[in-house]
């Protein structure tokens, strides 16, 4: 029954979010086909009233809003996300082409910041109040306060422009058709290093502090003293007895950070002209492309909800007490 209740909660959440996704963009003042002003130096094509009427009829925007809402829900059940008003393409295609790049960036950043944050946080905890801890703590506090785009710019200038170690922008070398799969993969990783590093660095501080605090609270525990008394190696104590107990909050943090990481990806994708979904969100909002906004937010919602669901499942696996408590 509880499982059914949880599932109902998720379904209701999705339905509420779907409705918000639909109505919120339409409540914004402005018109997707209205172009009065542009960015500096930018050329814009203004539409006449007649042209706007034609486009609105073509995209069904001349329908009453409630009828549009029902059509939107009906289309969703048929697996259709609609047609982008600005990009002249199916929303599904646009999202599918962009999503893998953002997922790659975000997963890379999660992996990198988790591994490094865990290692450094544990080191700091083990050497608490000693030089290493003080240096690491100061370093982490400093970097976690710098916005991702500034770190990105710094990396861009030093590692790409000055040292020439990495490409300046993009996710792939353009116009290089005759390459093997391995070469393409290497190229993708080469392009992703700086954006992932920039995004990771902003997450690293939080991860480091979390692990450091957990480990500081774990180290004085009796079972750790017992482990040391048994003569176990420091590595074994650290991994099997220390880190294992840090897994629960760490798992929650990783899954919960998905939403904020997508937000961070918007800025990093801007700096590196990276072709992800983050960049697309801001463009879609700016031009009031309702179907695209709905589609992107729906996908992100589903991703975040899936992450929550996965964290719950993992929690049960990692901590049998949760299951027992329910039973």
Compare residues 133 and 289 and give the one whose CB is closer to other proteins.
Answer: 289
Q: Which of 188, 194, 195, 161 is nearest to 173 (CA)?
A: 188
Phi then psi for residue 90, to 5 deg, are -65, 135
Compare residues 45 and 129 and give the one whose CB is closer to other proteins.
Answer: 45
Compare residues 99 and 119 and give the one whose CB is closer to other proteins.
Answer: 99
CB of 76 to other proteins, least distance (A): 20
> Distance (Å, rounded) from C-alpha 55 to C-alpha 39?
23
Compare residues 98 and 212 and give the one whose CB is closer to other proteins.
Answer: 98
- C-alpha distances (whole Å) from 25 to each of 29, 55, 201, 279, 285 are 9, 18, 33, 17, 8
DSSP string, 282-322: HHHHHTT-HHHHHHHHHHHHHHHHHHHHHHHHHHHHH-HHH
CB of 319 to other proteins, least distance (A): 39
- Residue 241's CB is within 10 A of a number of other CB atoms, namely 18
> Distance (Å, rounded) from C-alpha 296 to C-alpha 7?
23
Residue 252 near residue 211, CB atoms below 8 Å: no
CB of 322 to other proteins, least distance (A): 39
CB of 286 to other proteins, least distance (A): 6
Compare residues 106 and 125 and give the one whose CB is closer to other proteins.
Answer: 106
CB of 301 to other proteins, least distance (A): 20
> Distance (Å, rounded) from C-alpha 117 to C-alpha 149?
20
> Distance (Å, rounded) from C-alpha 249 to C-alpha 109?
18
The residues of the shown chain that bind other proteins, judged by CB under 8 A, are: 28-31, 34-52, 54-55, 58, 83, 86-89, 94, 97-98, 101, 147, 149-150, 153, 156-157, 160-161, 164, 168-172, 174-175, 266-267, 270-273, 275, 279, 281-283, 285-288
Compare residues 1 and 36 and give the one whose CB is closer to other proteins.
Answer: 36
Compare residues 87 and 139 and give the one whose CB is closer to other proteins.
Answer: 87
Phi then psi for residue 108, to 5 deg, are -60, -45
CB of 103 to other proteins, least distance (A): 13
Q: Which of 179, 173, 203 is nearest to 105 (CA)?
A: 203
CB of 191 to other proteins, least distance (A): 10
Give the residue carrying structure tokens 């190696």: 233
């Amino acid at each position: 029954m509880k499982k059914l209740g949880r599932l109902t909660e998720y379904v209701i959440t999705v339905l509420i979010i779907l409705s918000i996704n639909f109505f919120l963009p339409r409540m914004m003042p402005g018109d997707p086909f209205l172009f009065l002003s542009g960015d500096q130096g930018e050329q814009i094509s203004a539409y006449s009233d007649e042209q706007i009427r034609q486009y609105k009829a073509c995209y069904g925007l001349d329908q009453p809003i409630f009828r549009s809402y029902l059509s939107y829900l009906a289309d969703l059940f048929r697996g259709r996300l609609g047609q982008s008003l600005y990009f002249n393409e199916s929303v599904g295609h646009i999202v599918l082409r962009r999503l893998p790049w953002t997922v790659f960036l975000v997963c890379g950043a999660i992996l990198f910041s988790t591994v490094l944050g865990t290692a450094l946080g544990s080191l700091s905890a083990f050497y608490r109040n000693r030089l290493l801890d003080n240096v690491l703590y100061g370093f982490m506090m400093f970097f976690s306060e710098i916005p991702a785009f500034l770190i990105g710019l710094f990396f861009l200038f030093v590692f790409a422009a000055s040292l020439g170690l990495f490409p300046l922008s993009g996710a792939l070398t353009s116009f290089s058709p005759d390459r093997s799969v391995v070469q393409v993969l290497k190229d993708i990783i080469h392009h992703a290093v700086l954006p992932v590093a920039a995004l990771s660095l902003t997450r690293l501080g939080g991860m480091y502090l979390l692990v450091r605090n957990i480990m500081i609270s774990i180290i004085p525990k009796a079972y750790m003293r017992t482990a040391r008394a048994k003569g176990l190696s420091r590595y074994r104590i650290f991994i099997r007895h220390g880190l294992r107990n840090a897994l629960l909050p760490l798992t929650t943090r990783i899954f919960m950070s998905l939403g904020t990481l997508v937000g961070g990806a918007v800025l990093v994708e801007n700096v590196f002209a990276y072709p992800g979904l983050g960049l697309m969100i801001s463009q879609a909002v700016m031009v009031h492309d309702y179907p695209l906004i709905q589609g992107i937010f729906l996908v992100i919602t589903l991703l975040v909800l899936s992450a929550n669901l996965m964290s719950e499942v993992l929690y049960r696996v990692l901590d049998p007490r949760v299951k027992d408590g329910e039973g």
